[in-house]
């Protein structure tokens, strides 16, 4: 610090930060604080006054089974998305690793869904997966029998189908990050492995996977925590159905808010916020630990 | 020093915002005395009015607006609020954004949802009321004895739409006259190899009609008053038994096989094609049929009869496209202009409106066009004796239809449906400040 010329500090007085700070406070801090404050009130569309009610909202939410069910569904969904998105992403990255012209074109193709509107993706898949939709027609054509599987109508398996749709949309991003990770691995290390007679699988398992740790940290954390905030794709494909089997917390929040129960909706979003936070720290810690080998 | 200053400023700013922000922006309004009603043709040059409408109602006011703009010099904008309309409007109003007029479901539960006493103009003593048919004048649009909504078209009625050809082929000549004969007819049709009833559990919302129509007699007997006072619950025998009956009919195989995945569109197609004999639905279902078939074909194929346990009684449920509410915006000129537009709509502009919409007239002095399909006439004929649905009489509108769809998907039992509905109802009622909750 002392080596820095004094005048430099005065060129950029601290109060220059004020505009940015104001934006940060108004658009990030205050809404977050409100999220905490309103959860303890009876704010609704039905009356003008807002009164504090203590932990009333939390008690009624946790005694009704709906919130717990939505939390469970959200967690299952997030784990499924994290698994599928990373498996698809790493498979694509390995497949398209070489910089050929064809691979470059294919990478672009797989990245296109990432920049598509999630709602549009959802509605397209909803049409494809209908009992009389294109997927069943294709299956019917191949097998020669009439297929009418309700892909989005099963109370057990639909959540897997929707998680795959979500992963399909985002796998291009995971692929890109894994590709970048693969590129940073020194060719010398791989060559040394090959000279020692390591097979493709051994190279992958013992050299490339460990060296990909930072990319895995990023991909798993963003997929897991991002999909806990999932809404659009599920809303477009199933609206939380069938029978509440895919009712993510955000869908529940959306419905509750729309019914004018603003305080309850805020309470739920606070619960979601806490759940993401509680999950984020151990997950990221665990994944960072894997990077210690580097 | 500077750092502490900034820190202090940030905390102070945040605290100030929290404190000032912690009151509902929709507070205000006040005075609710019925205002004067300007003449329909009073000059309004330079006045701009905004009407909020849903995707299925934004074309409704066209003829009226044209006439009104020409007559008064006002400018009227229709702003479409995306679906789900009710949620969008409620959210906007809650954050202080209001139009001059909006399409709105004129039921107690939905007027409560808009906080009518604070946000809406009273329409008591409106000039069009004398011209309105007596049967329909006071059917809906009230909250706490104040009129907040102006009915522009006949409210929807829950009842049975049937395929005339399927009935004729099965040798059915007399329509059912009560619930038992209705179910009996279903069983006869089933024995003859016809799918009697068609339901759409994938789109969910029509599931509740089967409960409402079974409750018509109880509703006339004050069921919903007792539910509102928390003296009777959804889990009590009156309502629970109707859910069990519905489940029983589904288990008996009286509904379409693809009930779990069928949609609103599938339902219309099935009835038109004669794949199913009957559908319990509301007017918007007929709108769907009109988009798929010509008026002659519909007159020939589709009929309507109301049903309730004790006889042919309809259950009415006005929706957002049936009525308008006028907001208190704080601008006296615009508020008066909004009332003037309503007077014109239901006054000199009404004959054109009924003609343009090809709909049933609410006023004895204005004739219904003879091109209105016969099924719709049957619907409006049933209105005179119809009973209000849950949405009309209950103070809150719980997610009964979602829970019923869950039951059809197999994730809830009838008792669980009743419990979840009661819980949701209590939560909404409590938020409204209902005394018993």
Whether residue B405 and residue A242 make contact (CB cut-off 8 A), yes or no, is yes
pLDDT of B12 over the 60 cut: no
* Residue A80 resides in a domain: yes
The answer to whether residues A242 and A155 touch, using CB atoms and an 8 Å cutoff, is yes
CA nearest to B432 within chain A: A46
Question: How many Cβ pairs within 8 Å bridge chains A and B?
Answer: 127
- Identify the bridge partners of residue B326 per DSSP, sorted by sequence position: B101
Query: At A209, which helix (H) or strand (E)?
Result: helix A209-211
CA–CA separation, B227 and B222 (whole Å)? 9
Containing structural domain, residue B405? 156-317+390-432
pLDDT category, B433, cuts 50, 70, 90? Answer: confident
Q: Which residues of B touch A43 (CB under 8 A)?
A: 24
Please give the sequence-ordered ranges of beta strands (E in DSSP) within B129-254, or none if there are none: 142-143, 146-147, 149-151, 156-163, 195-197
Residue A217 resides in a domain: yes
Tell whether A20 lies on the interface with B, counting CB pairs under 8 A.
Answer: no
B173 and B100, same domain (yes or no): no
Q: What is the pLDDT of residues B25-41, one digit of tens each?
A: 444 444 445 568 888 88
pLDDT at B138: 85
* Residues shown for chain A: 294
* Cβ within 8 Å, pair B86-A17: no
Q: In this predicted model, which residue has the larger pLDDT, B185 or B112? A: B185
Q: Is residue B162 part of a domain?
A: yes
Q: Looking at residues A253-279, what average pLDDT do you find?
A: 89
C-alpha to C-alpha distance for B72 and B344, rounded to whole angstroms: 10
Among A226, A213, A216, residue whose Cα is nearest residue A169: A226
- The closest alpha carbon to B202, from B252, B154, B258, belongs to B258
Q: Does A51 touch chain B (CB under 8 A)?
A: no
Q: Find the range with the poorest average confidence among A153-157, B219-223, B309-313.
A: A153-157
Q: Are residues B296 and B397 in the same domain?
A: yes
| Closest to B223 measured CA to CA, from B414, B390, B404, B421 | B390
B274 and B411 together in one domain: yes
Residue B302 lies in a domain: yes
Identify the residue with better confidence: A198 or B4.
A198
Q: Is residue B31 part of a domain?
A: no
The answer to the question of residue B135 being in a domain is yes
pLDDT for the residue numbered B251: 96
Decide if B252 is inside a domain: yes
**d(Cα B264, Cα B433) in Å, to the nearest integer?**
36
A13, A64, A243 ranked by CB distance to B409: nearest: A243
Number of structural domains in chain B: 2
CB-CB under 8 Å, B409 with A241:
yes
**CATH code of residue B410:** 3.40.190.10
What local confidence, expressed as pLDDT, does residue A290 receive? Answer: 84
Residue A259 contacts B where some CB pair is shorter than 8 Å: yes
Contact A30 B21 (CB under 8 A): yes
Q: What is the CATH number of the domain that holds A186?
A: 1.10.3720.10
For residue A142, tell me if it sits in a domain: yes
For residues B163 and B298, membership in a common domain is answered with yes
By CA distance, what is A26's nearest residue in B?
Answer: B14
Parent domain of A163: 69-293
Q: What is the ipTM of this complex?
A: 0.79
Helix (H, G, I), strand (E, B) or coil at B344: helix
> Least CB-CB distance to B118: which of A29, A48, A243?
A48
Within a domain: B95? yes
Residue A264 lies in a domain: yes
Tell me what the pLDDT averaged over chain A comes to. Answer: 89
Give the number of domains in chain A. 1
State the average pLDDT over residues B222-233.
Answer: 94
Average of per-residue pLDDT across A55-66: 85
Residue B196 in domain: yes
In a domain, A59, yes or no: no
How many Cα neighbours within 13 Å face the side chain of A39? Answer: 20
> Which among B109, B14, B25 is positioned nearest to B330, based on CA atoms?
B25
Residues B327, B313 within the same domain: no
pLDDT at residue A5 in the model: 52
Residue A49 pLDDT more than 90? no
Chain B residue numbers with beta carbons less than 8 Å from the beta carbon of A37 are 18, 22
Pairwise pLDDT comparison (A153 vs B248), residue with the higher score: B248
A35 has a chain B CB within 8 A of its CB:
no
Q: From the CB of residue B260, how many other CB atoms can be counted at a distance below 10 Å?
A: 22
Does B433 contact A47 at a Cβ distance shorter than 8 Å? yes
% of chain A exceeding 90 in pLDDT: 60
Could you report the per-residue pLDDT of A89-139, keeping only the tens digit for each? 999 999 999 999 999 999 999 999 999 999 999 999 999 998 888 999 999
CA–CA distance, B436 with B190 (Å, rounded to integer): 45
Query: Could you tell me if A244 lies within 8 Å of chain B, comparing CB atoms?
Result: yes
Tell me: do B183 and B116 sit in the same domain: no
Under the banding of pLDDT at 50, 70 and 90, the label for residue A170 is very high
Kindly state the average pLDDT of the residues B9-36. Answer: 47
Check residue A7 and give its pLDDT. 53
Please check whether residues B356 and B217 belong to one and the same domain: no
pLDDT band for position A241 (cuts 50, 70, 90) = confident
Same domain, B145 and B214: no
* Whether B275 and B338 share a structural domain: no
The CA-based dihedral angle spanning residues A128, A132, A134, A137, taken in that order and rounded to the nearest 10 degrees: 150
- Identify the band that residue A235 occupies on the pLDDT scale cut at 50, 70 and 90: very high
Looking at the fold, whether B347 and B259 belong to one and the same domain comes out as no
User: CB burial class (10 A; 0-12, 13-18, 19+) of residue A63?
Assistant: exposed
- With an 8 Å Cβ cutoff, are B24 and A48 in contact? yes
| Confidence category of residue A50, pLDDT binned at 50, 70, 90 | confident
The 10s digit of each residue's pLDDT in B412-432 is: 999 999 999 999 999 899 888
Q: Is B38 helix (H, G, I), strand (E, B) or coil?
A: coil
CB atoms within 10 A of CB B315: 29
Neighbours of B234 (CB within 10 A): 26
Compute the distance between CA of residue B109 and CA of residue B398 in angstroms, rounded to an integer: 10
In a domain, B372, yes or no: no
Give tens-digit pLDDT for B107-157.
888 898 888 888 999 999 888 888 888 888 888 888 888 999 999 998 999
Calculate the average pLDDT of chain B. Answer: 87
Residues B137 and B244 in one domain: no
- Are both B292 and B323 inside the same structural domain? no
> What Cα–Cα distance (Å) separates residue B435 from each residue in B17, B283, B429, B430, B432?
33, 35, 9, 8, 9
Interface subset of A 119-138, CB within 8 angstroms of B: 130-131
């Amino acid at each position: 610090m002392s080596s820095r010329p004094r005048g430099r500090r005065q060129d950029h007085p601290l109060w220059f930060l004020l505009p940015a700070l104001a934006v940060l406070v108004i658009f990030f801090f205050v809404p977050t604080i409100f999220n905490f404050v309103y959860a303890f009130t009876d704010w609704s569309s039905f009356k003008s006054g807002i009164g504090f009610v203590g932990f009333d909202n939390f008690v009624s939410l946790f005694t009704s089974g709906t919130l717990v069910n939505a939390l469970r569904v959200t967690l299952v969904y997030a784990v499924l998305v994290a698994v599928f998105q990373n498996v698809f992403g790493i498979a694509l990255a390995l497949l398209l690793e070489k910089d050929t012209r064809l691979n470059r074109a294919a990478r672009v193709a797989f990245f296109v869904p990432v920049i598509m509107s999630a709602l549009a993706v959802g509605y397209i898949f909803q049409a494809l997966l209908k009992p009389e939709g294109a997927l069943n027609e294709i299956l019917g054509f191949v097998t020669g029998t009439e297929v009418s599987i309700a892909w989005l109508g099963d109370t057990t398996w639909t959540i897997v189908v929707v998680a795959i749709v979500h992963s399909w949309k985002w796998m291009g991003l995971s692929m890109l990050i894994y590709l970048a990770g693969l590129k940073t691995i020194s060719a010398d290390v791989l060559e040394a492995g090959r000279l020692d007679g390591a097979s493709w699988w051994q190279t992958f398992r013992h050299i490339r996977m460990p060296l990909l740790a930072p990319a895995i940290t990023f991909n798993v954390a963003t997929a897991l925590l991002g999909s806990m905030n999932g809404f659009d794709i599920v809303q477009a494909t199933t609206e939380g159905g069938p029978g509440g089997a895919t009712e993510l917390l955000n869908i529940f929040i959306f419905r509750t808010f729309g019914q004018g129960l603003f305080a309850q909706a805020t309470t739920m979003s606070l619960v979601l916020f806490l759940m993401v936070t509680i999950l984020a720290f151990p997950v990221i810690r665990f994944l960072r630990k894997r990077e210690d080998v580097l | 020093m500077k750092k502490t200053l900034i820190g202090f400023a940030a905390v102070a700013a945040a605290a100030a915002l929290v404190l000032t922000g912690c009151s509902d922006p929709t507070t205000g309004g006040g005075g609710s005395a019925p205002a004067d009603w300007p003449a329909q043709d009073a000059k309004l040059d330079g006045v701009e009015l905004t009407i909020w409408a849903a995707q299925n109602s934004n074309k409704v006011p066209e003829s009226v607006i044209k006439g009104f703009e020409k007559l008064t010099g006002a400018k009227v904008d229709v702003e479409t609020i995306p679906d789900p309309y009710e949620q969008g409007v409620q959210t906007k109003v809650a954050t202080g954004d209001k139009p001059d007029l909006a399409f709105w479901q004129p039921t107690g539960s939905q007027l409560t949802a808009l906080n009518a006493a604070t946000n809406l103009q009273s329409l008591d003593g409106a000039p069009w009321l004398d011209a309105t048919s007596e049967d329909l004048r006071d059917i809906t649009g009230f909250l706490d004895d104040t009129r907040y909504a102006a009915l522009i078209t006949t409210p929807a009625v829950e009842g049975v739409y049937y395929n005339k050809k399927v009935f004729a082929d099965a040798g059915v000549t007399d329509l059912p006259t009560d619930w038992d004969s209705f179910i009996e007819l279903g069983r006869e049709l089933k024995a003859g190899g016809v799918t009697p009833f068609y339901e759409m559990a994938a789109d969910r919302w029509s599931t509740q009609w089967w409960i409402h129509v079974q409750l018509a007699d109880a509703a006339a007997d004050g069921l919903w008053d007792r539910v509102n006072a928390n003296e009777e619950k959804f889990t009590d025998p009156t309502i629970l038994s109707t859910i069990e009956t519905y489940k029983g009919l589904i288990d008996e195989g009286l509904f379409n096989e693809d009930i779990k995945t069928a949609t609103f569109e599938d339902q219309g197609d099935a009835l038109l094609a004669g794949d199913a004999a009957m559908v319990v639905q509301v007017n918007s279902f007929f709108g769907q049929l009109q988009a798929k078939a010509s008026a002659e074909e519909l007159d020939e194929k589709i009929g309507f009869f109301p049903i309730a346990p004790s006889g042919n009684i309809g259950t009415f449920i006005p929706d957002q496209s049936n009525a308008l509410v006028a907001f208190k915006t704080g601008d006296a000129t615009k508020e008066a202009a909004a009332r003037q537009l309503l007077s014109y709509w239901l006054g000199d502009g009404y004959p054109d409106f009924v003609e343009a919409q090809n709909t049933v007239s609410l006023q004895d002095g204005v004739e219904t066009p003879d091109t209105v399909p016969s099924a719709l006439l049957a619907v409006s004929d049933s209105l005179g004796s119809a009973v209000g649905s849950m949405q009309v009489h209950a103070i809150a509108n719980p997610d009964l239809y979602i829970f019923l769809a869950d039951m059809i998907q197999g994730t809830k039992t009838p008792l669980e449906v009743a419990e979840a509905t009661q819980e949701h109802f209590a939560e909404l009622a409590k938020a409204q400040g209902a005394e018993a909750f």
